[in-house]
């Protein structure tokens, strides 16, 4: 299984590459006033608006640093109907991949109720890597705020 690696502070994390539609350089994002914490804004991808989250802001309480290694990861995120929606994730130092078996990842032994998206860990030469589970990134209220308008248009 292929993973895209990125950093939150000094720690390394992994996303399942099968969930990633595209890796883009960091682009300008339109801020949305009063958006939920961690929502960086929205940008246009192939003619359609895509909501964007800042992973550093969600996990560390600070925005990602705008560096050449900071990327916008477009991931497939399931909405409440199960349909896959594009969601942008701003991720620092997202320049490497890793091939590992899912069984190489084991429970960390620490549960974080405020970060249910943090999955099991695997060890490599540089230390521990933690799997970020895309499906668990958004609390229900944030998911509703990001995809409500799209869902209303589909229902019409």
pTM for this model (two decimals): 0.90
Which residues constitute the domain of residue 117? Answer: 2-155
pLDDT in tens, 114-150: 788 999 999 988 899 999 999 888 887 788 777 765 5
Q: Which residue bears the tokens 């991720």?
A: 91
Q: What is the pLDDT of residue 73?
A: 98
- pLDDT tens digits for range 85-95: 999 999 999 99
- Report the half-sphere exposure of 69 (CA within 13 A, side-chain side): 10
Distance CA 27, CA 53 (A): 13
Pick the more confident residue, 153 or 99.
99
Q: How many domains does the chain have?
A: 1
> In this predicted structure, what is the pLDDT of residue 149?
59
Task: Over range 31-42, report the average pLDDT.
Answer: 90
The CATH number of the domain holding residue 132 is: 2.40.50.180
């Amino acid at each position: 299984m292929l993973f895209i690696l990125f950093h939150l502070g000094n720690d390394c994390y992994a996303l399942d590459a099968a969930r990633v539609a595209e890796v883009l350089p960091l682009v300008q994002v339109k801020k949305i006033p009063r958006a939920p914490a961690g929502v960086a804004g929205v940008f246009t991808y192939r003619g359609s608006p895509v909501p964007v989250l800042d992973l550093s802001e969600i996990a560390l309480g600070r925005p990602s640093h705008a560096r050449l290694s900071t990327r916008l990861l477009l991931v497939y995120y399931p909405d409440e109907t199960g349909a896959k929606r594009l969601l942008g994730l701003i991720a620092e130092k997202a320049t490497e991949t890793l091939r590992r078996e899912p069984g190489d990842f084991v429970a960390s032994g620490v549960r974080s109720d405020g970060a249910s998206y943090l999955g099991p860990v695997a060890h490599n030469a540089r230390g521990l890597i933690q799997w970020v589970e895309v499906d668990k990134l958004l609390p229900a209220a944030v998911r509703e705020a990001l995809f409500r308008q799209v869902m209303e248009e589909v229902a019409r």
